[in-house]
Structure 1
Amino acid sequence: MQEIRSKMRSKSGFSFFSKITSSKKRPSLSIPSKSYDLSGIDKTTDNAAEIIEKWNTEYVSPNKFYSLFYESKRDAKKFVKRVKELQNAMDLLIREDPNSETLLRAQKLMQIAMKRLQNEFLQILTMNRAHLDPESVSTRSPTSVMSNDEDAWHEYRSAGDSIMEVEEVSKNSRKELKSIAECMISAGYAKECASTYKSIRKSIVDESLYRLGVEKISSSKAKKMPYEVVELKMKRWIEAVKVSMKTLFTSEKSLCDEVFESSASLKESCFKDISKEGALLLFGFPEIIAVRDKKNPHMKKIFPLLDMYCVITENLLAIEVIFSFPSISAVRTQAHISLSRLSESILSHLVEYESEIRKDSSKTMVPGGGVHPMTISTMDHISRLSEYSSSLMDILNGSTSSSSKSLLPKSYFNVTESDESPTSELRVRFAWLILVLLCKIDGKSEIYKDFSMQYLFLANNLQHVVSKASSTNLKQLLRDDWITRHFEKVKQFAKSYERLAWGPLVSMCPAISTSEALDMSPEEAKMQFEKFIESFENTCEAHSECVVPDPKLLDEMKYSIGRKLLPIYRDFYNAHRNAVILVGREDGWNVRYTPEDIENRLSELFSGKGILDNRYVCTADLCLVRTATSPTPRRKTRSLSCRRF
């Protein structure tokens, strides 16, 4: 500011006469016409001289600037009015008597007046800087965003509110700036006025963006940054865009339009020089990050990229409106380029994620046929992805890749050939990604040597998949028919487990209505009890490690097994218990399991109580087997081996 003031002090004077004659043809030196009122012009000049000389910049204290618009609003209005009258008088003199002494006097007065107005313009802008330059933003350090202190995070988020408050230039100040600008422009001093305005306002915009965490980062520097640092910068950038578009650029455009309402060219020139550099820096950041992460895809990176994509998309209309001038079309172009690069990077991450699922070769076994960690993590990612359905539809719609309908077998997903909507395309993509997961789970089921455990494993994992899908945004994407069909598949797997694991036990207890059971002797009944109880204990022991995490599926499976086993056993027990007890007294034998005992044992099924071996690593959610088996080399494959899905 001092530099600007010193430059203005160093000027010996404004070449006002050259300004007004450069745009107007100088009249010939003919004899002045007497058609104008010379006394009226002299009076106008005297009136102007009175107020102009009163506030002559040369006569104020060098240590303190006494603002005309601050000290005396009445004098300020009078000053502007007299300057406009003087300008009109000078225009008349130039036409009628360009060599008059009055014109020379008026020229000197106008130079003094313009210097005063330029200083006033600078003073008003500077005095209001406190309202446009939020200290609350600068006090936030970059690391505060990662703080667990909710108050600190709230303060950072409220930076936008602070800027909104301090960006409110008072109505009077706006009027004064506009009044001075119009006066200087009409007098031919538009360049000086605009230069002063730009010097103050650009520094405010640039500094505000810097305080919001927007800084210039080269591609090479971004590549060397740890991802944690990049992720932090992405979060700060998202907040910076919200604040910038809601307050900073919007307010700047509004102020610029109001101050320079009388000149369309100055509106554009000032706003361009003030905002273009900062806006390009702001909207150029996603392109750098997208290119960086496209070469190092990972599923955890896709969500910050989607957040960046969303915030640009949400503000795209505002960007088009605020940066509508032809001279700043580069800002609009940069926003669209960043969207395109983000789209490419997001698609790259999705393709790589599918590949990671396909190539997974871990041999870790989940005890008891529980839910595999891959199922949990993959469904967490997929369900979270579904929250970005709208953005993903835009990305897929703009993608040049072929339709994904050909990915799925017609029997798996019912999509008509005529349905070419983005929603249909996204639905197929999500269904395909889930199918890739299920086929991988199908392959991992073979680690269990017992076929019944394979089906329990498949039932648990598919139940988790469908439950997750039905309780998130995936339900709207995949629709009810997909949910229903896969729930039925869960029941089929559960029945297969039940048939293989518990069927032999059920068949050992003959129905009470058969003639064989009615005619059975006490000794034969005792032998039948012994066989059944031994088989029951062995079956319970063999499946004591089995787990069914889903409460609904757990109840259904217990009920189904109990319904097949308990009524038959209860009838057989009631028919032969007394006779068997009498026969068994000699050797002290007794029926050890009443129907209630059987029911109690069945109620303990699928709780994983048998998982006591120290080879198991257990957490609150699942148990895994410690294995030293080295994973087999990853193989790239396009086809899916999926026998049971």
Structure 2
Amino acid sequence: MAMAVVESIENLVSARQLLQTSLEKSRTLASALDKMGPRLEEINQRLPSLEAAARSISIQQCAFSRIRDHVDRAIGPAVAVLKVFDTARELEKSLLSDPCSDLFDYLSVMNLLEEALKFLSDNCELAMKWLEGIFECVEDNAITNDCCLLNVKKSLRILQELQVYEERARLEGGALSAASRKLEIEFKRLLLENSVPLALDSLATSTAEQASVFASSSWPVPVIQKLQAIVQRLNSDNQLECCMSVYVDVQSSNAKHSLQALGLDYLEMSITKFDDVQSIEGYIDQWSKHLVLAVKHVYELEHRLCNDVFKKIGSEVATGCFSKIASQSGILAFLRFGKHVAESKKDPIKLLKLLDMFASLNNLRFDFNRLFGGEGCIKIKNQTRDLIRKIVDGACEIFWELPLQVELQRRSSPPSDGSVPKLISFVTCYCNQLLGDDYRPILTQVLVIHQSWKQEKSLEGLIPNQVHDIMKEIGLNLDAWSKAYEDISLSYLFMMNNHCHFRNLKGTKLGDMMGDSWLTAHEQYRDFYAVLYLKKSWQSLLAPLSQKGSNFLVW
């Protein structure tokens, strides 16, 4: 019983405590509810603005959804541009080295860089179009994300700069421009290392076989291939003029050094010295020999090298370079010297020298036409034609004036001792040379050319007829000179000596042309004047002998 009472009391105590706890929670909840009322009112008041914000977010999400396709399309070109730009930067670093180590690899890098720059230029434009479309969409849909707009603008500026990257690379100081400059330096280095002056002084005394081997020498094939590759590369960069200038400077200097070994200072002698033909006969002979060496070896080699180096660009470029090399190294000096000789004082002895010069030029005619026949060599070609015309005109003028030149000597005095005048010896020797195998074919060709220029028919016997006229004038001179002696016996001696001189021309070219009757006539005149001379000289001795004849008888 007592135990039951105790348990009931404990239950009551527990119930009371529970009720107290519940009451405390109720009070706390009531207090919280009292506080929540104002907060709910505040939320209720903010609901319209939150609803408007939610609607705005929904609109922006829709707008961004619409430009997503534009963004996707722009990302591809933009990423490709960036990758190629990185590649271009790496290629630029590779071009900082010198091309001499591996020229063809260097040229390959230049080509790759050029392709990369072209890709940048083309694809930057495409990416910019897509970004411009994004920018328009953003503005059209009233998207006020300033960060987005700034990024789009920044991307456009970057692409605009990359778009002109190719142009800047080609400008002075740019990667391609600097690489082209290095190629020019390498081009010049290759030329200087392989251009060696020809030993023309030793060639002048070499055999024909040695000379042929000498003339066929050229540069090694790998060197030619490198020069060709550089020329093609610089041509594609519009730098061909610089390349040609370097080539002409180096090769004209080399050709000039080759010719200087021959001692060509006489080509620049004063014009006044040309009137004394006898004093420059040796120089004229040298001119003929040196011109052959210059054309057949120096200019032949330079012509071949020009064609080898520039043949992939075009024959006009090669011809232009060769023309400048020939002009700057001395061919014009050769032509100018010949012109001064042809224009100098008309002296009979100069005829032979003019014929020598014509023969040299005629022998080189094929070479001149082949080497200097192009349009780029028009100046050299015209001056060569002018020189030939002056030589032909000068030679013919002297030849036709030879009888007159003999006649002009008629007023001079004969030798005081009755010997053969120097003029007679000179003229007969001179005519023998003109009629000889060395000069007669050349003189005939010159006369035929001159006749054709005048549109006159070629006349048979031009040379023999002119020689007959010369000898006719010589005969008239002899008659005039013989009458100049006061001593008649000396006159007879003079005539005897000269007819003897003409009689001794038997077997010579002149004697054969004049014929046996002419030689026989001089032989008869020689004997005739010999008799007269003896008769006259003995008569001059008989007078004193007859006066002292008695004295001789006593003895």
Give TM-score, length-normalised by structure 2.
Answer: 0.60
1:486 is aligned, of 502, 515, 518, to 518
Summarize the Cα distance change of 1:248–1:218 in structure 2 as closer, same or farther, 3 Å threshold. Answer: closer
Q: 2:297 aligned with 1:247, yes or no?
A: yes
Q: 2:470 aligned with 1:433, yes or no?
A: yes
The one-letter code matched in structure 1 to 2:471 is I
1:331 is aligned, of 372, 380, 387, to 380
Does the residue aligned with 1:194 lie in a helix, a strand or coil?
A: helix
1:79 is aligned, of 106, 115, 128, to 106
2:335 is aligned, of 279, 283, 289, to 283
Does the residue aligned with 1:273 lie in a helix, a strand or coil?
A: helix
* Whole-angstrom CA distance in 2 between matches of 1:237 and 1:196: 30
* Whole-angstrom CA distance in 1 between matches of 2:449 and 2:162: 72
Q: 2:323 aligned with 1:272, yes or no?
A: yes
1:463 is aligned, of 485, 503, 516, to 503
* Whole-angstrom CA distance in 2 between matches of 1:396 and 1:123: 52
1:392 is aligned, of 435, 443, 458, to 443
Please report how far the alpha carbon of residue 122 of structure 1 lies from its aligned counterpart in structure 2 after TM superposition. Answer: 0.9
* Whole-angstrom CA distance in 2 between matches of 1:176 and 1:125: 11
Q: 2:149 aligned with 1:117, yes or no?
A: no
| 8 A Cα contact 2:95 2:175, kept in partner | yes
Please report how far the alpha carbon of residue 437 of structure 1 lies from its aligned counterpart in structure 2 after TM superposition. Answer: 2.2
More contact order relative to length (CA 8 Å, sep ≥ 6): 1
| 8 A Cα contact 2:420 2:494, kept in partner | no
Please report how far the alpha carbon of residue 259 of structure 1 lies from its aligned counterpart in structure 2 after TM superposition. Answer: 0.8
**Counterpart position of 1:319:** 368
Summarize the Cα distance change of 1:325–1:314 in structure 2 as closer, same or farther, 3 Å threshold. Answer: same
The one-letter code matched in structure 2 to 1:486 is W
Structure 2 residues without counterparts, runs of 5 or longer: 1-72, 126-158, 540-555
* Whole-angstrom CA distance in 1 between matches of 2:289 and 2:215: 17
Please report how far the alpha carbon of residue 81 of structure 1 lies from its aligned counterpart in structure 2 after TM superposition. Answer: 3.8
Please report how far the alpha carbon of residue 441 of structure 1 lies from its aligned counterpart in structure 2 after TM superposition. Answer: 3.5
**Counterpart position of 2:12:** none
Q: 2:95 aligned with 1:52, yes or no?
A: yes
**Counterpart position of 2:23:** none
Q: 2:420 aligned with 1:383, yes or no?
A: no
Summarize the Cα distance change of 1:241–1:92 in structure 2 as closer, same or farther, 3 Å threshold. Answer: farther
Please report how far the alpha carbon of residue 180 of structure 1 lies from its aligned counterpart in structure 2 after TM superposition. Answer: 1.5
| 8 A Cα contact 2:215 2:300, kept in partner | no
Between Structure 1 and Structure 2, how many residues are aligned? 414
Does the residue aligned with 1:304 lie in a helix, a strand or coil?
A: helix
Does the residue aligned with 1:301 lie in a helix, a strand or coil?
A: helix
Summarize the Cα distance change of 1:254–1:290 in structure 2 as closer, same or farther, 3 Å threshold. Answer: same
Q: 2:274 aligned with 1:234, yes or no?
A: no
* Whole-angstrom CA distance in 1 between matches of 2:103 and 2:115: 19
**Counterpart position of 1:293:** 345
The one-letter code matched in structure 2 to 1:79 is Y
* Whole-angstrom CA distance in 1 between matches of 2:331 and 2:189: 27
**Counterpart position of 1:562:** none
For residues 448-597 of structure 1, the aligned pairs below 5 Å read: 449=488, 456-457=496-497, 459-469=499-509, 478=513, 482-490=514-522, 492-493=524-525
Summarize the Cα distance change of 1:206–1:172 in structure 2 as closer, same or farther, 3 Å threshold. Answer: same
Please report how far the alpha carbon of residue 124 of structure 1 lies from its aligned counterpart in structure 2 after TM superposition. Answer: 0.5
The one-letter code matched in structure 1 to 2:298 is L
| 8 A Cα contact 2:343 2:394, kept in partner | yes
Please report how far the alpha carbon of residue 233 of structure 1 lies from its aligned counterpart in structure 2 after TM superposition. Answer: 3.6
* Whole-angstrom CA distance in 1 between matches of 2:464 and 2:76: 86
Please report how far the alpha carbon of residue 123 of structure 1 lies from its aligned counterpart in structure 2 after TM superposition. Answer: 0.5
The one-letter code matched in structure 2 to 1:279 is I
Considering fraction of residues, name the structure with more helix.
Answer: 2
Summarize the Cα distance change of 1:135–1:311 in structure 2 as closer, same or farther, 3 Å threshold. Answer: closer
Does the residue aligned with 1:465 lie in a helix, a strand or coil?
A: coil
Summarize the Cα distance change of 1:292–1:155 in structure 2 as closer, same or farther, 3 Å threshold. Answer: same
Please report how far the alpha carbon of residue 279 of structure 1 lies from its aligned counterpart in structure 2 after TM superposition. Answer: 2.7
Please report how far the alpha carbon of residue 127 of structure 1 lies from its aligned counterpart in structure 2 after TM superposition. Answer: 1.0
| 8 A Cα contact 1:371 1:460, kept in partner | no
Summarize the Cα distance change of 1:375–1:44 in structure 2 as closer, same or farther, 3 Å threshold. Answer: farther
* Whole-angstrom CA distance in 2 between matches of 1:315 and 1:280: 15
| Greater alpha carbon shift after TM alignment, 233-242 vs 91-100 | 91-100
* Whole-angstrom CA distance in 1 between matches of 2:335 and 2:453: 30
For residues 123-202 of structure 1, the aligned pairs below 5 Å read: 123-129=189-195, 131=196, 133-134=197-198, 164=214, 168-202=218-252
The one-letter code matched in structure 2 to 1:340 is R
1:115-141 per-position Cα deviation (integer Å, ceiling 9, x unaligned): 332221010111123x2x24775xxxx
* Whole-angstrom CA distance in 2 between matches of 1:33 and 1:394: 81
1:21-76 per-position Cα deviation (integer Å, ceiling 9, x unaligned): xxxxxxxxx98997xx98997898689568634x347xxxxxxxxx33xxxxxx33
* Whole-angstrom CA distance in 1 between matches of 2:380 and 2:431: 34
* Whole-angstrom CA distance in 2 between matches of 1:112 and 1:274: 28
The one-letter code matched in structure 1 to 2:322 is F
Does the residue aligned with 1:262 lie in a helix, a strand or coil?
A: coil
* Whole-angstrom CA distance in 2 between matches of 1:43 and 1:157: 64
The one-letter code matched in structure 1 to 2:250 is I
Summarize the Cα distance change of 1:399–1:457 in structure 2 as closer, same or farther, 3 Å threshold. Answer: same
Identity of aligned residues (%): 15
Q: CA RMSD in A?
A: 4.7
Structure 1 residues without counterparts, runs of 5 or longer: 1-29, 58-66, 69-74, 138-153, 404-418, 503-537, 544-645
| 8 A Cα contact 1:222 1:230, kept in partner | no
Summarize the Cα distance change of 1:48–1:262 in structure 2 as closer, same or farther, 3 Å threshold. Answer: farther
**Counterpart position of 1:589:** none
**Counterpart position of 2:128:** none
* Whole-angstrom CA distance in 2 between matches of 1:222 and 1:490: 45
The one-letter code matched in structure 2 to 1:469 is K
Please report how far the alpha carbon of residue 164 of structure 1 lies from its aligned counterpart in structure 2 after TM superposition. Answer: 4.6
**Greater C-alpha Rg:** 2
1:342 is aligned, of 377, 388, 391, to 391
| 8 A Cα contact 2:244 2:321, kept in partner | yes
Does the residue aligned with 2:413 lie in a helix, a strand or coil?
A: coil
* Whole-angstrom CA distance in 2 between matches of 1:362 and 1:402: 41
The one-letter code matched in structure 2 to 1:489 is A
| 8 A Cα contact 2:268 2:337, kept in partner | no
* Whole-angstrom CA distance in 2 between matches of 1:489 and 1:174: 73
The one-letter code matched in structure 2 to 1:125 is L
Give TM-score, length-normalised by structure 1.
Answer: 0.53
| 8 A Cα contact 1:280 1:330, kept in partner | no
Does the residue aligned with 1:169 lie in a helix, a strand or coil?
A: coil
Summarize the Cα distance change of 1:32–1:201 in structure 2 as closer, same or farther, 3 Å threshold. Answer: farther
Please report how far the alpha carbon of residue 238 of structure 1 lies from its aligned counterpart in structure 2 after TM superposition. Answer: 2.3
* Whole-angstrom CA distance in 1 between matches of 2:482 and 2:87: 100
The one-letter code matched in structure 1 to 2:221 is K
Does the residue aligned with 1:385 lie in a helix, a strand or coil?
A: helix
* Whole-angstrom CA distance in 2 between matches of 1:76 and 1:45: 19
Summarize the Cα distance change of 1:421–1:195 in structure 2 as closer, same or farther, 3 Å threshold. Answer: closer
The one-letter code matched in structure 1 to 2:341 is I
